Structure 1
């Protein structure tokens, strides 16, 4: 499947990259909601409108923090909280299921001013994994916690704990059943506490099977003090096995922030992003080789990632307010806004 759409993505290089300049001392914000085979005509007008509204709402949450002089870290958390609660996205409520029928959630956050970072992997009962990642960064001597230990820490930090069924959506469960049938694997029991089965739009399932082989939400924010923060949150991949962890909680692969270069949040097939250390690699090209943010993003995504036959994309931001995104898939849910400017929400590869 990957080989079928990568050549088209490469041919559309100019439509899958975009650079935007900001003004020093002003805030800026760039968000993604996952990349994949997102094509015109594959979504109903109502579904497309729902995604655009959700991305606009995410911008509004970030703007509300930054316009009041709030920190980039606070903006990142505010934006991702809403996305983690929105079943449209593969993060928090609405996350995909593992082959065992569980929602296992990963998240990370990084402060570009200090290079402090926090991450969690495989959590199942924390409503907002991005808040747990921040707590790891600020209230522990570690960078990454996983599984049961991460959830013990979450309780000690008085973070909101929910039953696993909180994350359940019928759409994702049906996608799991479909994936397991293709793989010849047994379908696990329906999770305890899940609602009674409901009809599912099979057209939406077909779109999910192409679009959401992977999926992530992420944001990079710049505050008026010139500090960058980046955060990423995900449910991983449908029918993942053996405790698989992707790039989203790995600092330098799925998330990176440094005031001296840039901040990046990634979405895609995590195994490739890990191998390339995509997020930190883009920032290193900016800082050490003097590339523009857009040129650095395109070199890593359009050239290096594509050469490995990896798929996905990134959003990025510098302390000067320059914004970029780049992806080698037909689409990526994405949005940007700079202080005093109009919000921009895009989905398809032929949009700004």
Structure 2
């Protein structure tokens, strides 16, 4: 990789937002996070490190439906999913349905870097995390909290309330990376997986584009997910915005709602959603980091 004199990033804190609710705490947090991403990318940080740290921050703060902000499944405990992909090497890692892992995205990166596998699930993922010294939540009853904008009524399974966090980045060496993490649908069936832990569905990065998705995972899986955006760019020669819009249209056609963030090797950023809004931040060379929800 060589210096390309440009960089860019985008973050999302989930597309499951409700008009009229107050997301100011999440906006303030994302603004701080965006400024940190801008500073570190400008200083030469690697895209893979940027997306890892950004998602870790969103997992631990409890403001989003991931990590600390996750809700229990239908039998009363939290299952966590995360995936990460390094576009420069086309390597990826994920964990799925793992119980009480403190930093799911760090666990996903460990799977990528320290195992021969791409995905580990449930008890196998938990055993791997313990073997590699990753931290677990000591007291689940006191650790987890309702994230910003979520009320008790949203915990009903029938509401299909959901959320996810994610980050995509292009660094000064032209490397792309993407990362995504979630606690899944509120009150989900034990063992349910959405798109987040599936490389190519919730997360994708290659030499052309990095993508992270948020929304109803079943619809994103059936619509082709994050890798569909990359294929539209690579094989269909579609502009990034058109490729992202195409995936969102397919998600909507499958009765799904959600959003997508993406960045390409030229530093272009695209963000699209078909829900009421999406907690998001973005920036890059020559641009002031920006935050929005609706």
- The TM-score by the shorter chain falls in which range? over 0.9
| Aligned equivalent of 2:78 | 103
The correspondence for 2:247, drawn from 284, 300, 310, is 300
SS of the residue 2:14 aligns to: strand
Q: Shift of residue 170 of structure 1?
A: 5.6
Q: Shift of residue 53 of structure 1?
A: 0.4
The correspondence for 1:121, drawn from 82, 96, 105, is 96
CA contact (8 A) 2:65 2:147 kept: no
The correspondence for 2:41, drawn from 66, 72, 84, is 66
Are 1:247 and 2:195 an aligned pair?
yes
Are 1:146 and 2:125 an aligned pair?
no
Q: Shift of residue 152 of structure 1?
A: 1.3
| Aligned equivalent of 2:224 | 277
| Aligned equivalent of 1:310 | 256
SS of the residue 2:15 aligns to: strand
Q: Shift of residue 116 of structure 1?
A: 0.3
Cα distance in 1 for partners of 2:18, 2:262 equals 21
| Aligned equivalent of 1:336 | 282
Larger radius of gyration: 1
Where does structure 1 differ by over 6 angstroms across 4 or more consecutive aligned residues? Answer: 171-174
CA offsets 1:290-319 (integer angstroms, 9 cap, x no match): 100001111121x22222221111000001
CA contact (8 A) 1:32 1:334 kept: yes
Are 1:175 and 2:127 an aligned pair?
no
Are 1:162 and 2:137 an aligned pair?
yes
Cα distance in 2 for partners of 1:31, 1:137 equals 21
Cα distance in 2 for partners of 1:178, 1:75 equals 32
CA contact (8 A) 1:216 1:267 kept: yes
| Aligned equivalent of 1:227 | 175
Residue ranges of structure 1 left out of the alignment (5+ in a row)? 1-22, 184-208
Cα 1:306/1:118, change in 2 over 3 Å: same
- After TM superposition, the score normalised by the length of structure 2 is 0.93
CA contact (8 A) 1:281 1:300 kept: yes
Cα distance in 2 for partners of 1:111, 1:100 equals 35
Cα distance in 2 for partners of 1:60, 1:298 equals 27
SS of the residue 1:145 aligns to: strand
Q: Shift of residue 213 of structure 1?
A: 0.8
Are 1:75 and 2:50 an aligned pair?
yes
Cα distance in 1 for partners of 2:84, 2:76 equals 27
Cα 1:52/1:170, change in 2 over 3 Å: closer
CA offsets 1:42-78 (integer angstroms, 9 cap, x no match): 12xxx33212101112213323432221111100111
Cα distance in 1 for partners of 2:261, 2:281 equals 9
| Aligned equivalent of 1:236 | 184
CA contact (8 A) 1:32 1:335 kept: yes
SS of the residue 2:70 aligns to: coil
Residue ranges of structure 2 left out of the alignment (5+ in a row)? none
Q: Shift of residue 219 of structure 1?
A: 0.5
- After TM superposition, the score normalised by the length of structure 1 is 0.78
Cα 1:171/1:337, change in 2 over 3 Å: closer
Q: Shift of residue 244 of structure 1?
A: 0.3
Q: Shift of residue 233 of structure 1?
A: 0.3
Q: Shift of residue 171 of structure 1?
A: 6.8
The correspondence for 1:93, drawn from 39, 64, 68, is 68
SS of the residue 1:237 aligns to: coil
Cα distance in 2 for partners of 1:34, 1:135 equals 24
